[in-house]
Amino acid sequence: MLLVELHDLEKSYGSVLALRKLTLAIPKGALFGLLGPNGSGKSTTLRILCTLLEPDSGKVIVGGENALTNPRNIRDKIGYVAQEVAIDKILTGRELLQLHGELYHLRRNYRDKRIQEMIDRLDMTEWIDRRSGSYSGGMKRRLDLACGLLHEPELLVLDEPTVGLDIESRSKVWSLLRELHAEGTTILLSSHYLEEVDALSDQMAIIDSGKVIANGSPSELKKELGSNRVTLKVREFSNQLEAENVQKLIQGVKGLHDVFFNRAQGFSINFFSDDSESLSTLRLQLNEAGYGIFSLSESRPSLDDVYLKATGKTLMDAELEVSTKRDFKKEAKQSMR
């Protein structure tokens, strides 16, 4: 049974097309991971789902109801934890939870009972009555999670919930999500951390440039690749021309396929190998072409390989491209002043 259905969502910000007919289905009771680099459209998708943003076109169905025409009904079903933590620094954590309960029109006895449950569950007893302006990043994130869960939503939506957290706080969040999932809560988790989506999700989708490019369970998506992933460096730091020449050489070897180079890792070459014989042939051809082997390693396919196969670049390279574009735009604006 599906809890969430997104059909052909499109959204533009001026000339920038953020979503391109994005379609997604989330089963009831799933812990669903939405993986993609910054700028891929993840936050826009979540904000539309949570009725905080209207799409240019498309449909949003939650629990059988149209979220675009019945937003009030949908908001009762959803707990939303945004990427940016918004907390009043003057109020204590308990006061913020009380305020949140009032906004959801919870009965006082039920509200106070739920607040205490959240305090206990998220280990907030020692600091919950301090002003929230003194909280660490991990404390703020736990409080934010408590606010999203206070009204016992059918669907918990989390936008990059562990960004910037220390190991202990991240572990606490992961444990809570696993517990909630086991209890039947449907969770939609947006992240650009490969290991987070791989470790937590039973279903997932990869989003890039505003559209879904892969969908399934993490194990299914990795299994579809079949072959081993190989990472090759002919020297510690190559340049693009050398990487392109080695790429062409590898593409000519039978049994080796889907060859890409990774800019973020010194132009290392990534490809897939069907058998050990093809690697032996590659070693000979590299030697004949005058290339050495600085390092060569094999591994089972990962989610980064799924992303690589679908887009022709690693998630790290995608993040680097977004960062470079932002820096370029910033420099361009400054030069115009």
For the segment(s) 227-300, the CATH number from 3.40.190.10, 1.10.3720.10, 3.30.70.100, 2.60.40.10 is 3.30.70.100
Q: How many CA atoms lie within 13 A of 329 on its CB side?
A: 6
Q: Please determine, for residue 232, whether its predicted confidence score (pLDDT) is greater than 50.
A: yes
Residues near 92 by beta carbon (within 8 Å), at least 6 away in sequence: 128, 129, 130, 131, 132
At 189, list the tokens.
């988790």
Mean pLDDT of the residues in the chain: 89
What does the pLDDT look like over 112-126, one tens digit per residue?
999 999 999 999 999
* E-state strands within the chain: 2-13, 16-27, 31-35, 57-62, 65-66, 78-81, 155-159, 186-191, 203-208, 211-216, 228-233, 256-262, 268-273, 295-299
236-257, pLDDT tens digit by residue?
888 999 999 999 999 999 999 8
Q: Which residue has the higher pLDDT, 241 or 274?
A: 241
Region 297-309 average pLDDT: 84
Homologous superfamily (CATH) of 2-222 is P-loop containing nucleotide triphosphate hydrolases (3.40.50.300)
Q: For the chain, what are the domain ranges?
A: 2-222, 227-300
Higher pLDDT, 318 or 306: 306
Q: What pLDDT is attached to residue 323? A: 61
* 52-107 tens-digit pLDDT: 999 999 999 999 999 999 998 899 999 999 888 778 889 999 999 999 999 999 99
Query: What radius of gyration do the chain's Cα atoms show?
Result: 23
Alpha-carbon dihedral sign for residues 262, 265, 266, 269: negative
Residue 328 above 50 pLDDT? Answer: no
Q: Is residue 334 predicted with pLDDT exceeding 70?
A: no
